[in-house]
Amino acid sequence: MKFALALLATLVLGGTANLIRGKHATPHSQTDEQWNSQVPEINNPKIQERTWKDGSEYRYLYDGQILTGMPDVHLQFAGSRVRAIVKIQNNGDKDVMQIEKVFVGSLHERFVSDPRSMIQLDAFEPMQEQDAPFEEVLKMPVRFTVENGKVDNFEATETDPSWSINIKRAILNTFHLSLTDKEEPKDQTRRETLKPLRAEQSNEIKPRPTKTAGQQTAEDDQDDYFTVVEDSIAGRCEVSYLVLEQPANKPEEIYPIYENENETKSEQRGQSQRQSAGQELNVLNVTKTFDYRNCEFQPFVFKGIHLTSTCPGCESRPEDFFNILESAAHTRYNITGARQSTDYLIESAISAAVYKITPRSHFAGSLVAYAGAEVTLIQSGPIKGPINFPETNANQIDGLHMINPRFERREGEKFLYEAPEASRPIVQLKKYWPNVDEKPRKVKALFEKLVQGMEEKEIKSDTAVLIEHIIHLLEYSFEEEIQQIHNEIKTVSVAGVEKEEIDHMFADLLVSTGTNCTFTYLKKLIKEKKIQGSTVIDVLGALPFRMQVDKISGVMLQEMSELCMDESVSASPFVERACWLSFGTFVHKACVHRPRAEWDQVEAGQNSPKTQGTSRASQQSRQSSPRQSGARDQPEFENRLCPADVRQTIVQKVTEKLKSFAEDDEKKILIIKVLGNMGLEETIDELAAIAVDMTEPIYIRTQAIYAMRIMGLKYQSEEVLEVLLPLYRESKNPTQIRIAAFLTIMSSKPDLPLLEDIAQSLNREVDLDVASYVYSSLSSVANSTDPCLQNLTRDARIALQFATPLNVEFRHSKSIQKGTFLPHMKSGIFWEQNTIMDKDAPAPRAANLRVHANVNMKSFDIVEFGFETEGLGEAARKFLGNFTTENLAEVISGRAARRPRAAGQMPVESINEIDQLLNLKPQEPKEIRGSAYMKIFGQETRFVVINPQTVSRFIVDLISQQESVIPKLMSGEGLKVDNRRVGMLMDSKLEFPTILGVPIGFTVRLPIVTGMKGLVKASMTPKPEGGLAFFKQMPQQVALEMKVKSNIAAELHAKLSVYIGFLRVGTGCRTKLSLNMPLDGKVDFSLADRSTKVTMNLPESPVKLVKMAYYPVTFVTRHSKNSVTYQPKNIPQGLEGQRRTGKAGQTEQDSSSEEQSRQTGQAKTDRALMLDIDEVETELLTKTGHVSFPKWFNGLPVTIPDLWEIATPAFIKSQDVNFQIGHDSMAAKLEVECEHEYPNTRLSPLYLPVVGAKSRLEVKLTPKAGAKKVTVAIFERNEFAVQSEQELLNKLKDKVEGITIKNLEKPSVPTNYEKMPKMGRSLQVSSI
C-alpha cells in the first residue's frame, strides 16, 4: 500500500506537473498565426479545380515532423520540423514541383505528452537562413510525370544536394497511388524473396461493379482491400490498400480516418470546399499501409565491420540483418473523384510512422523515432506563372526511394557524387554544406588539444571525443588539404611528447579516417620513408580494417600491390610482411565481402554493367555469391567492382610470387597466408597442391590447410572437402596434418552424413591424439549455444551417438569451445582453444586461442593467437637439462653436457646395449621450425617464422641495436617508455529512409586514446659483455625495475539521429570509460637458487583504477555554413527555463506551488543520476541533467551539441553491487562500487545496463595507512625433508632402486629416498 501511494504521488508530482507547463516560445520562433496571416489560404482555401487537370496549378501545405527519444525511460524528445508551401503544376507532359516557403526548426523538450501529434510551430527554434540556406536549396524545382496515379521519370537540377532531393522525393511519394493498376516486381530474380502477396490477381484492378443500395457482391472485399508491390521512399515493398468510396451527399458514411482535432478540421475544410464549389464528386477514403518486412529492395546503408559471417539457418536473406530495426508506416488519404478514373485529386494525406531500434531485445529498451507528415490542399486553379525548370544538366534519377550518393571527386568549388540511380553526378556546392573551410587551422587546434590531453596526469574521456571531430574534418579533405594539415601538424609541440609520437598519432588518425585520399597520402609517406619502423607496420596492419568497402576499387588494389613491391617496403622483412597481409585483406573485403548492392546478375562468364536507361536499384541482388546460394537453378551473380578477370589477375600475380619462393620457407609461408587472407576460390588449387605435397615440411603444409578455412567458411565449397577429407582419413598422415584438415572441414559447416561418418571412424582410430581432438571438438560443438552453429550443434549431437565415448588424459590433443549467448541481449561471446600435444615434450607442439562474437545473428572473429612447431620437444629437454650451466652459448648450440643421471636410473651403457639387441637406431635431431601468428577479425596481421635462419637474424638484429636499446636498458638511466595511440576502435552506421525523405541513422562510435609512459631498467649479475660475448655467460641474477603508468580513455556513443542539411537531432546512450593502471615495482629472478621476487610500491593515496558512467541523452546539433561554430547557450541551473510541450494547442498556466515542489521535494526526479556513491569527476554531468562543455572545448573550432541527459523517474528500481577484494589488515585492498538504474520496474537478471539504463562503476585501489610496498616471493627448493606419507611413497615406486611395492606400503622412509633430488615451491607475501 505504501508503495502504491508513493508511486501515485510520484506520478502526480513528477508526471502531471510536466503537463501543466505554460507555453514558452523559442527565440525568433514562428507561430501558426504568422503563417495564417502570410498564407491566408491555409484557413480559407481557394479551390477552383477539383480534379487533376492539365494546365492547372495546385498548392499544398506540407508539415513534417520527427521526434527521437526513449519513451521507455521518459517522454523527453529531440526533434525537427519542416513546414513548406508546395506548388505543383500539371503541364500535361512533364509536371513540375517547387517549394515556395520553408521553415525548418529544432525542438528539445523535457516532456512531450504525445510525440505522435503535430506540436505547435512556435515550440521549434528556427534555423536562420543566413546560417542554413534551407529555403534557397529547397526552392530548386523538380520535374516528373504522372500516369495512372504513378509518379515516374523524376528529374532534379544539377546543383540540388542529395538531402534536398530526398525530401522532394518523399513529398512526391505521397502522390504515388495504385488505385487503377498495381506494380509487379521489376527484378524477377528477387521475386522469390517476396512473401506471397495477399492478392495475386491480374495487373489491372477491376472496377467495382455497379450495384443498388443494399446489394453486396462477392468482389467487394477484394476491391476494398488489396495488396501490391509499390515504389516508395523506403524502397519497393508490399503495400496494402483499404479503399472506401462514398458519395459526397452522404458524409456520415465516409470512413472515419481522422483521429484528432487538427485532422477533423482538415476534413471539415474539405467538405466546405466541395459544397462551395457546387460539385457532387465522390469521396475516396484510402488507407495505405507499408510492410517493410516484405520488400524487393530497400535503400539501406550499412558501414562498419564487414568481416562478418551470416549465420546459416538463422537468416534467409541479407536484408534480415536489419531486424534490429522495426518500423511501421501508413498514410490516410482524403481523395475527391471516382476510383476508376485517373483524374482524382488528393485533398489531404496524413502519414505516420514509427522507427524503433532494438539493439538487444524488446525487454532491454529501444531507441524510438516518431515521424509524421501532413499534406493539405489549400489552393487550385489555372497556372498563373510557369515554374522555370532548367533543361540543361537535368539529372534523371530512377525510382522514388531514398538515394545515398557516394563521393567521387572535386572540381573547383563543386563536389561530385555518384549514385546508381542517377544519370549523371550529383553536384554538391560548397555553400550548401556546413562550414568545412580552414581545415588545416581547425585540425591543428583540435590535434594540439588532443596531445595536451594525453600528456595530463590522467587522460579524460573528453580527450577521446576530439578524435571524432578530427576524423570528421579529415573525411572531407583532399590530398592537397591533407598535405597542408600535415604541415600544420609538424609545427605542434607539446612539452614531454616526442616528435615521433606526434607523427605516429597523426598516422593513426589518417588510418582511422579510411578514405581514398588518406590512403593515397599514407602511401606517399611510406614510399618517401617519412614514416618508418613500427609506425609503418601499425599503419599497414590497421589500414584495411578502417577502409570502407565501398571505397575499395581495382585501382586501389593495384596501388597496394605496387606499394608492397616498392623498395621502401621490401627493404624490411617485417614491413613487407605487414604490407602483403594487408593486401590480402583488401582483396578479401573487395571481392568477398562486398555489400549486396555491388552484385549484379550476369550471364555465365560475363560481367554486365548497367545498361543505359535502366534502374540500377532493380539490379541489386543478394550479397551471397552463386556458390553460397547453393541452388543450381538460380542465376549467377558477379561482383561488378571485382569481376572475374580482376580476381584472376590478382591470383596469378600472387601465385607467381609463391613459385619464385620455392626455397625460402619464410616467404613461402607469407604468400600462403596472403592467399588465406584473400579467401578467393580461385586459390584452392594452389593451396591444395602444397597441402598434399609430402616433401614439404609439416608446418608449411598445415599453413596451406588453414589458409583454406575462409573458403570453407564463406562458400561451403565442395572443392575444399575434396582436398581435406582424404588428408584426414589417411591414418599415415602426421597428426598435425589430420587435425588441421578436420578443423578446416568443421569450419565449412559439414552436413549430418559427413559428421556421422567422422564419428564412426573414431571407433577404429589408432591415433589417440586425433581421436581425442575430434571427439572433444564434436562434444564442444554439440554443447554450443552459438546461434550461428545451431544446425551444426544439432547434427553433432546426432553424430556423437555413433561414436564410442572417449576419455583420455590431458596430455592428448583437445579442442575446447566455451561461451554464452544472451538472447535478451541479442549477443554472445565465445572462445575456442585447440591444442596439439607433443609426445616428446610437456608443451604442445601447436595451440591456438580464438575469441569470436555473435551480434544480431552475425558472427565475427575478434582476435586469434596461435603457434605451431617442429622439434621443440627435444630442444626444450636439452635446454632444461642444462639450465644451470655457466655457458649460455653451449646451451643454445646443444654442446653442453647433460646433467648427471640420478641415482636409481638405468646407466647409459645398459640403454645402448638394449638398443643394439632390438636393432634400434637413435633418432636424428630435428631442427626447430615453426611459426606464430595473430589474427584480427579473422585476418592475419602479424606472424613470425621460427627456424635457424630467422633465429640467427634475430640475434644479429639484437646485437646491431645494442647501442640504442641494450645499453640504455642496462644503464643507470634506464630505457624510456613513451607510447601514445589514438583511433576509432568502432565506427558503424545503419542508415535507412523515413517518410520525410531525410535519412535516420543508428551509429555506434568508439574513439579511444591510450598512453603509456615511464622508465624501465634492467640489470644482470654478473654484468654481461658487449657484442657476441653477451651470450657466453649465463647470468646468475636478473633484475627488472619499472615505473610505468598506463591510461586508457574512451567514449562509446550509440545514437539514433536524423540529419537535415545543417541540423542533426537524436537520442542515444553515452558511455564514458577511463582506466588508470600504474606499475611501480621491481622483479628479481635468481637463477642460482631458482627464486622469483616481485616488489610493488604502493601509492600514497587511493587510486581510481576504473571509472565508467553510462546514461541516456537527447541532443540537438545546429551547424552553420559560416566560419563561426554554433555553441549552445548557457543552461540555467534551475528548471525555470524548461518547457513542457503537449499536443498542438494544448497550453496550461504555470503553477508556482508545483514549481517549488519540483525544485525541493521532487528535485531527485531530474537529477543526472540518483546514486549514493561519489560522482565521476567530470564536467559533463550536472544535477539538472544538462551536459555542458565549458572548459575543455572552449575556444575550439567545433560545433557543440546541445546535450541533455534523460531524466529518471523517482520510483526507478536499482541494483547495487558493492564489494571489496582484500582485508583491512592487508597492505592494500580493491573496492568495487557499482549501481544500475533501470528504466522500468523489472530488474535485469544480469548486471548489465539495458538501453536507457543508467550505470556507474568505480574500482578503487586503497592502500593501508603507512604501507609502502608489497613483496611476493616464490622460492624453488631442491632439497627438503618430508614426512613419511603413503602418497609420496607410491609416486617413488618406479624410481627407488631395490624397493618393492610391498615395502613401499610400509610407513617408514626408504634409505635411498634421502639421496634422491627433490623439488618443491613455496610462496611468501610480505608488506612494509
- Is 586's pLDDT higher than 60? yes
Q: What are φ and ψ of residue 1044, in 5° steps?
A: -125, 140
Mean pLDDT of the chain: 75
942 vs 837: CA distance, rounded Å: 24
- The separation between CA 988 and the C-alpha centre of its own chain, rounded to angstroms, equals 5
Whole-angstrom CA distances from 839 to 845, 866, 904, 918 are 9, 19, 24, 22
Number of H helices, E strands in the chain: 35, 42
Is residue 1272 within 8 Å of residue 1325, measured between CB atoms?
yes
For residue 297, list its beta bridge partners: 236
pLDDT reported for residue 428: 83
- Is 104's pLDDT higher than 70? yes
* Burial 535-573, CB ≥16 within 10 A → b, else e: bbbbbbbbbbbbbbbbbbebebbeebbebbeeebbeeee
Q: Give the DSSP letter of residue 181.
A: B
pLDDT tens-digit series, residues 749-760: 888 999 999 999
Nearest to 1116 by CA among 247, 80, 20: 80
pLDDT tens-digit series, residues 799-846: 999 888 877 667 788 999 999 887 767 778 999 999 988 876 667 888
Mean pLDDT of the region 120-134 = 88
pLDDT tens-digit series, residues 609-662: 333 333 333 333 333 333 333 333 444 445 666 777 888 888 888 888 777 777
1060 vs 68: CA distance, rounded Å: 14
Is residue 1066 within 8 Å of residue 1055, measured between CB atoms?
yes
930 vs 867: CA distance, rounded Å: 7
- Residue that wins the pLDDT comparison between 492 and 17: 492
Nearest to 577 by CA among 536, 523, 525: 536
Q: What are φ and ψ of residue 977, in 5° steps?
A: -115, 120
pLDDT tens-digit series, residues 842-886: 678 889 999 988 877 777 888 999 988 876 666 655 555 544 444
Mean pLDDT of the region 1017-1037 = 73
244 vs 255: CA distance, rounded Å: 7
pLDDT category at 1100 given cuts 50, 70, 90 is confident
383 vs 95: CA distance, rounded Å: 12
pLDDT reported for residue 653: 84
Is residue 1223 within 8 Å of residue 1229, measured between CB atoms?
yes
Classify residue 194 by burial, with Cβ atoms within 10 Å: 0-12, 13-18, 19+: middle
pLDDT reported for residue 483: 93
For residue 1132, cis peptide bond before it (omega within 30 degrees of 0): no
β-pairing, 637-639 vs 1037-1060, is: unpaired
Q: pTM of the full predicted structure?
A: 0.81
pLDDT reported for residue 1201: 84
β-pairing, 414-418 vs 426-429, is: antiparallel
Proportion of the chain above pLDDT 90, given as a percent: 24
165 vs 998: CA distance, rounded Å: 9
Find the DSSP H helices in 235-326: 261-277
pLDDT reported for residue 830: 92
Mean pLDDT of the region 20-40 = 70
Angle at 991 between CA 1187 and CA 1196, to 5 degrees: 35
Distant-in-sequence contacts of 761-769, Cβ < 8 A, 24+ apart: 761/729, 762/803, 762/804, 762/806, 763/803, 763/804, 765/731, 766/731, 767/731, 767/735, 767/738, 768/808, 768/812, 769/735, 769/739, 769/812, 769/813, 769/836, 769/837
pLDDT reported for residue 172: 94
For residue 235, list its beta bridge partners: 232
pLDDT reported for residue 912: 67
521 vs 489: CA distance, rounded Å: 15
Cell 588494389 belongs to 557
- Is 54's pLDDT higher than 60? yes
- The separation between CA 1123 and the C-alpha centre of its own chain, rounded to angstroms, equals 33
Taking residue 408's Cβ as centre, other Cβ atoms within 10 Å add up to 12
Taking residue 1213's Cβ as centre, other Cβ atoms within 10 Å add up to 13
424 vs 421: CA distance, rounded Å: 9
pLDDT tens-digit series, residues 1179-1217: 334 455 566 554 666 677 778 888 888 876 655 566 677
Is residue 790 within 8 Å of residue 313, measured between CB atoms?
yes
Residues near 152 by beta carbon (within 8 Å), at least 6 away in sequence = 144, 145, 146
User: Residues, the chain, total?
Assistant: 1328
pLDDT category at 1326 given cuts 50, 70, 90 is low
- Residue that wins the pLDDT comparison between 18 and 1223: 1223
- Is 255's pLDDT higher than 60? no
Helix (H, G, I), strand (E, B) or coil at 425: coil
Residues near 1324 by beta carbon (within 8 Å), at least 6 away in sequence = 1271, 1272, 1273, 1274, 1275
Is residue 64 within 8 Å of residue 79, measured between CB atoms?
no
pLDDT tens-digit series, residues 1250-1296: 777 788 889 999 998 888 888 888 876 554 444 444 445 555 544 44
pLDDT tens-digit series, residues 902-936: 444 556 566 666 666 666 666 565 677 788 899 98
β-pairing, 1269-1277 vs 1254-1263, is: unpaired
The answer to which of 963-977, 1029-1043, 1045-1059 has the lowest mean pLDDT is: 963-977
368 vs 78: CA distance, rounded Å: 11
pLDDT reported for residue 925: 59
β-pairing, 406-411 vs 414-418, is: antiparallel
